[in-house]
Amino acid sequence: MRRIGLTATAIAVALGGGAYLAKSAVSKPTAKPLVGVATVTPVPLPTGPDYPVPQVKIDAWIVAGDTTAIRGHAWSLWQAMAAPSGQFFNGQELPIWETWATGDDVFPTSSAALKAAGAPRAATLAARLARPRAIRHFRTPNQFHHAALRSGALKNGSILGVSSSTVTTKFSPEAATFIDTPQPGPGGTYNYSSGASLLKLNAAWPTSATPEQRGINPFPVQGVELKPVYGVVKATGLTIQPLWQGPAGSTRPSNPTPDTWTTCVLISPTGTGPVRPATKAEIASAGPPGACTTFLWAPLSTFYAVRLSASEAKEFATATGKPVAQGDYAVLQAMHVNTKEIPFWTWQTFWWQPGADTPNGFPGSKQNQPASLGAPWNNYAACAAYSQTTTVGGSTMQVCFNPYLETDPSIPVGITSNCMSCHGVAVVGQGATYPSNYNKPIAFFTDPTYFTTQNTHTDFSWAVADAQ
């Protein structure tokens, strides 16, 4: 039975005790046709006191357990990436992170889209980025079928599975250039964008090389990898978007995937105003409720949103198995962000959370957001994990996951996971795909469960480990 009203307490929780008015930051309708490709120059993150932060400073935060400083750094990264880039796509100015190379740019031999189209491949990354290109590609997340991917039963970049969300990957200019540039290794140089070259590296290590020594060269300090997650909002009518309220707000608390969330928001592509309870008429017009029992209403401007070209809509529809049309909106639901400012990387993840925080702030919150962070970026919550444990040398594991990604049943114990432990076991060659549990920290790169003389660790990058 659907519950179509909210108690006063529920309204206070949903709206943070008051009306929340979001400012518009989405593209406006245009008479110009929506194109699938354009020439977009990658813009690096600006450097300064807040980026890149010296390792010694971040290490001091970790040792002191200074979560306020760590969260503050996560938010400063988010704000910097969201800054206007001066680059445009379909009449919309892009934030800095949207200008960055995609996985299809960095790993061209893994691009299913290019293979299917029979498009010519430019020899260098610079040449690929200098010509018109798609700035985002919509795929089902690799982690939803990672065992098949690693076994070779599934090729990287293929579009399989049915999900309401899709992902793309993004690489800062420094990270993309590093992956594309031949890197020295035992007996020669190796291309980290090529699975075949990485396997040659794995076979080239001398027998005296220890598992710890068997690794790719480290990324540059300004290397950043992103995994944005997108949903879709129809160009007309109201579109239901689930709202994370913790495992208790799901019909399946052990694996609370978005389709099981019981609180949902009806998104209006043209409406304005604060997040509010939805009316009976709005709920009735929105279509089948799925697991939703509590309904809010919000404008599209609570999301970072982009209008889809015909080719983008087709790709999105193929990835999700659901109808998507040109002119519909891809909306940013979540994003993993990791930076190479420290040897084991910084890890932060963000997800859409308009209004108040999730009950109990699990796995993260909107606390410590800078006052200058504008809409729609302040409609996202965050968690950060710069170490595996809550205290250095301790036994209590840090929990940090993204509700749009790690809640899937295909990911072992995702709701007790943390980013560092997961990415730290990324390897080329023989090895486990994910930790079977997160009961204790992993010894990088000596734990024989994950690191052997039969594999090569890839500096925490699943993108490199999965190269084809």
What was the pLDDT predicted at 13? 36
What was the pLDDT predicted at 163? 54
73-118 confidence digits (pLDDT tens): 999 999 999 999 999 999 999 999 999 999 999 998 655 444 444 4
245-300 confidence digits (pLDDT tens): 999 999 999 999 999 999 999 999 999 999 999 999 999 999 999 999 999 999 99
pLDDT band at 396 (very low <50, low <70, confident <90, very high): very high
Mean pLDDT of the chain, nearest integer: 88
What was the pLDDT predicted at 468? 86
**Domain ranges within the chain, ordered by starting residue:** 30-227+332-465
401 CB contacts (<8 Å, ≥6 apart)?
349, 363, 383, 407, 414, 415, 416, 417, 418, 419
- Residue 307, beta-bridge partner list: 329
pLDDT band at 11 (very low <50, low <70, confident <90, very high): very low
Residues 410-439: what's their mean pLDDT? Answer: 91
Q: How far apart are CA 398 and CA 389, in angstroms?
A: 5
How big is the chain, counted in residues? 468
Per-residue pLDDT for 362 more than 90? yes
Handedness of CA 205, 206, 210, 213 (dihedral sign): negative
Handedness of CA 432, 466, 154, 160 (dihedral sign): positive
Share of the chain above pLDDT 90, in %: 79
What was the pLDDT predicted at 108? 83
205-245 confidence digits (pLDDT tens): 999 999 999 999 999 999 999 999 999 999 999 999 999 99
The answer to whether the bond into 363 is cis (omega within 30° of 0) is yes
Per-residue pLDDT for 149 more than 60? no
Q: How far apart are CA 183 and CA 190, in angstroms?
A: 5
Q: How far apart are CA 172 and CA 260, in angstroms?
A: 34
CB-count burial class (<10 Å; 0-12, 13-18, 19+) for 213: middle
Share of the chain above pLDDT 70, in %: 85
pLDDT band at 19 (very low <50, low <70, confident <90, very high): very low
Residues 12-41: what's their mean pLDDT? Answer: 57
What was the pLDDT predicted at 32? 74
Structure token pair of residue 109: 């031999």
Q: What is the pTM of this model?
A: 0.89
Report which of residues 21 and 448 the model is more confident about. 448
Per-residue pLDDT for 406 more than 80? yes
Eight-class DSSP state of 143? G
DSSP string, 384-443: E-SSSBSSTT-SSBP----TTTTTSTTSTTGGG--HHHHHHT-EEES--SS-S--SS---
Residue type, 352: W
